[in-house]
Structure formats: C-alpha cells, structure tokens
Structure 1
Amino acid sequence: MDRLVPLDNYYRIIQRELSFDFLYQVTSKYYGKEGQKSIDPVVFFKILLVGYLNNINSDRALIRYCSNCLDVRLFLGYDLNEDLPWHSTISRTRQLLGEEVFLELFRQVLSLCIDKGMVQGRRQAVDSAFIKANASMDSLVEKEVLEDASAYVNELEENSEYKVTSTRKKLVEQHHNWKKEEFKAMPAARKAIQLDEDGNEIRPKFLSNHTHYSPTDPDAKISTKPGKPRQLNYAGQLAVDDKHHVITGACASTAGSKDSTIFSEIMDQTLSNFKQNDIQIGEVLADAGYSSGTSLQYCEDHNLDAWIPNFGQYKPEREGFIFNKKENRYECIQKGGNKAFLPFKRTLTDSKGYEKKSYRSS
C-alpha cells in the first residue's frame, strides 16, 4: 500500500510535519492497563482530522470514507485487510475526552505554525459565527409552565433551564402576537395560503428561546442573521492572526450569548496560547458587537490596544460637563451651573445586555 500512495500526498505531508505522540501522555488518564484494548488515541484524532479536512460531519460517513481511501488508511496505519474502528467508538471517545485534550492538540498545531513563521502575534482579529446544531426546528417543544415565581424557585434544581413562569410566557406571547400583526403587512404575508394534509391553513410559528427548547439538543438556541432562515445554532468565537489568517483561539457558546460577554473567554485562551510560545499580543480588532465597558476594561488591564467601534448609543462626551476621573463624577462647567456635579450611582444592564454607568444627582 505504501507504493500506491504518492510521496507528495497531503496525508504524507501531515504525517511528516506533525507529531501526534504527545497525545499518549495527555490521554493516559482515560486509558487503563486491563480489559479490552480501546481505540488508539492517535488514530482517533487522525480520524477527526480527516473529517475536518473533508468537511464530513457524520461519524458513519467518516468511517466509510476512511475505509475507502488508500492514503487515509496509510495515514492511520491500517492495512487493506484491517477493519477500522466502529463509528460508535468515535462518538463515545469524543464524549469521553475532556476539552483540555483537544486544546492541547490545537496548541501543538499553533506552535508549529509559529515556528514556520505563519503567525506574527502582534494583532488579533476576533469574530463569531453561527454553527448549525444537529437538531431541527421541528423538534422544538414548549417548556413546562410554572404557575408562579415561588414554584420556579423551588424547581431550580430540576431542569430549570427548560421551564418558564406563566408571567414570562404571557409577555412572550404578547410579543409574538404583535409580531404576527406586523407580519401581515409584509410582502411575505401576501403569498398564497398553504394548507396541510388535513386542509388546515399552515400559519407561521413564532417560537422563542424563552418558551421553547429542543429535547434533541437542549443547549442549541433559536437564532438568525439578516437574509438567513431561523434555525437552531451554537456560536463559535474565533481569534485570527492578521498575518496569514491562522486561527489562534477558539471557543463555543450558546447562540443567544452576547459577543461582548464572551470576549474575555476567547481572549483568555488566545493570550494563554501565545504565552506558551513567549509571544505578547499588542492589538485586538473586533466589531461593535464586542463593544462594552467590560471588554474595554479587559483590554486596558491586559495592555491591549482595542480597535472596537462603540455601539450606536455611545456618546464620548456630555455637553456642558467634564468627567472627573479621580472622583468618578461629572462636573458642570456651564455658566450659571453653580458647579453642580453628578456622582456615580450604579451600573445598569439594558435590554440588549450592555452595561451602563448611571451618574445622577439624586
């Protein structure tokens, strides 16, 4: 089989450039010395790598692909007459291994990219993207309604994420009814009426993360982007080096999470990844979704120059006032203002999740 695979084959290059031997040490706590022999950790991660490179997201399809390809068999160390691991073994092993194992592999690859001069490290761009969940919108079911707040508190320990108070449900339903009326005036509402198999009119469903969830994947959230259909998603956060666009940090969150609330998590990992390679990041680029006082404070605390535009309601100045940083208050400088000042009162969180400081006289 070795003679049948060209010397410049892609998987030969990976085998030559990337050593997987460190995986034996980082996965040792998951393997015992007795009992039936399990899948080789190097083989497992190589199979996952093949799936990623070929955009195969089904374990059944992945094993079938690996079995049929000579170069992949050579890469995995399996001869033509040897059976590859079952697809269920891949699924179970993926669930068994902790995040630290996958992160260690990521850091090993990043170190190789740094050694090859592909990563500069000075400037990182951060952004997010939806990752489609393996669950259908048709799988959504209504959360169990709790009659009052006290019952809600009593059942917090019992799958509280999948329950909703009757008061909250009523508010959400009012919002959905408003959306339904607004929908009537839209061009899409004037399309021909569709009927189901029983002759009933098919009406658009207004579903919300507040009132519905998917038993197939409870962590997936309903989300959408302009011009895209609503579907169940996760959110992937990525940090990318601006020299050759190498990914330097990655983490996942629910699709309903604000980018600004995940900023510190993705940056903590990215800074840690670079610290292992003795590289100091200097600048961070991100869109307005990451703009918040907490994000900017994080950048200041870590000596990072932040190129993040402020969101629409932000005002850099207050006309007629100057800010006294030492006293943490605004002071009136207009004539006749009697040098009045507005001290800091508290920090508020608005409906969009942004934190705002409140300065007022009473």
Structure 2
Amino acid sequence: MSVLVIGEGALAGRACRQLTSEGHSVTHLGKAGDRELSAALDGGVSAVAVLLHDDTSAIRYVLAVEHLRPGMRIYVALFDRTAAEQLRSVVPDVTIISPADAALPTLLGAVMGPDVVAVGPALVNSHRAERSALTRSDGFLRVGPFSVPDHIRRAGFIGRLQGQFRPHDGNSAILLTGLIGMAAIIVLDTVLLMTFKDKPFLEAALDAVAVLSTVGPAPQSTNAWYQVFAIIAMLAAIIFLAVFTAGMVEHLLSGRYIGLFGRRAMPRSGHVIVVGLGQVGFRLCQELQHLGLAVVGLERSEHCPNLPIARAADIPVFIGDGGMRRTMKKLRVDRSL
C-alpha cells in the first residue's frame, strides 16, 4: 500500500519509519503547497495521513485532499474534539486520531500505581467497574475491570479540604487577612453590644456592620472601655478594609485561576500535579477530576488558550515555571501522590 504522510514533527517521522518497516511505500511531505500535494496524490497513493500539531493546518490539508481525490482514505491527528466532529460531517471517509486520547490511558495508569500500565473505558461485559485497566502481574499483562483505590480518593478529598481558605500566594493572603479582620470586628462588636447593652442580635449586628461600612454612627456609650474599643475597632476596620480591597482588586485582575474555596481551591496533599495545560494536559486534568482525584495544573504562559476552559471546568491552575524548585514547593510536590 502506498501512503502519503504529511507533517514535519516527530510523530510524522515515526509514522514513516513504522510504515516502511511494515513494507508499505511511503511518500513524506512537510509543508506542501497545492501543486506539491496534487503531484503527490497523482502518484497512485492509497491513503493519506495528516500528522500535524496545528489543527487548523491539518483540517486545511484534509479538505484539500478530499477536493483533489474524493473518497480517498484519510487519517488525521486532531486535538480539538469539536473540530473533529465537524470534520466527520464534511468528510465521511476520514479517520480521526486524537493524540490526547492515545496518551491518556498510559498517563492515567502511571498515576494509579506502578503495576497499572494503562486505564481505559469500562469493558462491555463489566457493569460495576467504572474503568478497565491493563495491569502487570507475575510477568504477565492482564486486562480487567478497574476502580480507583479508596485511599487515593480519600487522600484527594483530604487534600481539597485542607486547601479551603488557605492562601496560595501573597495576594490571596492579603485578601483573606482583610476578610478575616473585618469579620472578627463585626462579630466582636456584635457580641459586646448584645452582652453589655442588651441589644437584640439583629440590631447589634446591624449597628456593627453600619459602623464598619461607614454608613451609620457608632452606638453612643458612656463607658470608657467601650469608647476605647470603638476607637481601636474603627481604626482597625479602616486598615482591614483597605487590605481587603487591595487583595480583591489584585485577585480579580490575576485571572482567578485558583480560588480561595470551592473546587478551584488548590489542594494541599494527595493531589496530582499536571505540568503543561495543552490538549493532553487539560484532558488528563479532566479525567483525574472525574475519577475523584485532587488535581492542580501548572502552566507557564498566561496566554494559554486552555486557561479559560480550565477555569470554567473548576480546575485549579498555577501560573509558573515547572523547572523551578520554588514553584514545585508552592504546589506541595512533597505531599502529592
């Protein structure tokens, strides 16, 4: 069989070597223009493999091949699943291979344990297990149903719980300090008004919040100790309010890829650190999160196109360089799985 391989990366090179070793005739093109592509297709090609890292260029080549040779068998590597579905509706004879789907089972297996080679979809005849796995035992490889070990899920749950209201950087610490300080002043002032001035809870809380937000006067009192407390509390409230405002502004401008609480809070232990938030890294984060594991992504570039998608999927992402010891220390690599 004669195969035309289009691509310049390592994947295209390995595909050419593998096809040649199996006895197929291979024609390799890098960045081919319309004339080069048309000339290559006129040479009795039986199938075309488009192996590029750019989905846009790959789709363009597929459409060009379909236009020049309708009905030609085409194999293409695409990362984006939405683009893949749209391409299938336009080119019926195309076979789409996702590099992310190909790498995902092996990466999941490495997370689950040293004896787990790969983790994939559940077997057809297995109704209880959520996944199937290729495991290594006594020198043999076995395929069977697989469930995530309870201790891994438990460690992830504890790690996520420990990450709630735990600042991961200076900006988060400023925000949390201001919030806790204002809340402490309100609670203390409310308790004092209820205890020593016999005010109902709602009235005492209203007075405390009104004073803190500077929309109401402080309760009049002849007690010297309360006047001293009011002076200290109002001065402290000014400071805490300024600190909270600065932290909130910085948090809103930072992209909010890690939250202070909720699912986007950065786990502190029992988690998996995924370095790189490309198509493979993002899919791995999604699968780990779906399996109940705690996960945090690490991305160097703030302009990564998957950052907004990860935020919408409640995946915490830390912006930093994975090659720096300081960055990995912040991510608690010593307490990860």
| Pairwise same-fold verdict (TM > 0.5) | no
> TM-score, normalized by length of structure 2?
0.22
> TM-score, normalized by length of structure 1?
0.21
More helix, by proportion: 2
Q: Which structure has the greater CA radius of gyration?
A: 2
